[in-house]
Amino acid sequence: MADRPLSPHLQIWKWGPHMLVSILHRASGDGMALVGLAVLVWWLASLVGGAEAYADFLAIAGSPIGLIVLVGLSWAFFTHMASGIRHFVLDIGAGYELDTNKTWSILSPLIGVLLTAGFWALILTK
C-alpha cells in the first residue's frame, strides 16, 4: 500500500492564471445569481409598487453604494462572459497549448475590466 501514488493537492500544484480565471468564473456566476437576482426582484417590485417605490429604488441605485453594486454586477457579467467564451473555445478543442491557454487566462479578466469600464463610460456620458 505504501507504493500507491498520492493525489495531488495545493502543495503540489503551481499557482497559475488559469486557476484565477476558474475561481473568478465561479465567483462572478454566483455573484450574479445572488446579488443580481436580488436587484432584479427589487427593481421589478418597485415597478409594480408605483412611482414612489420606483423613485426610492432609483435614489438608492444612484447612491454611491448602489453604483458600487451595479458596477460590481456589470464587472461580474463581463468577466463571466469573457471566461465563458474562453471555456467555449476550450470545449471545441482549441486553446490547450500552454502559451495560448496562459495568454487567454490572463486576458479574460482584463477583457472583463475593460468592457466594464467602457460600459460605464458609455452610461455616464449619456
Annotated binding site for heme: 80
Handedness of CA 61, 64, 65, 71 (dihedral sign): positive
Of 21, 86, 126, give the one whose Cα is nearest residue 118. 126
109 neighbors 76 (Cβ within 8 angstroms): no
Cβ–Cβ under 8 Å, residues 111 and 70: no
Annotated binding-site ranges: 80
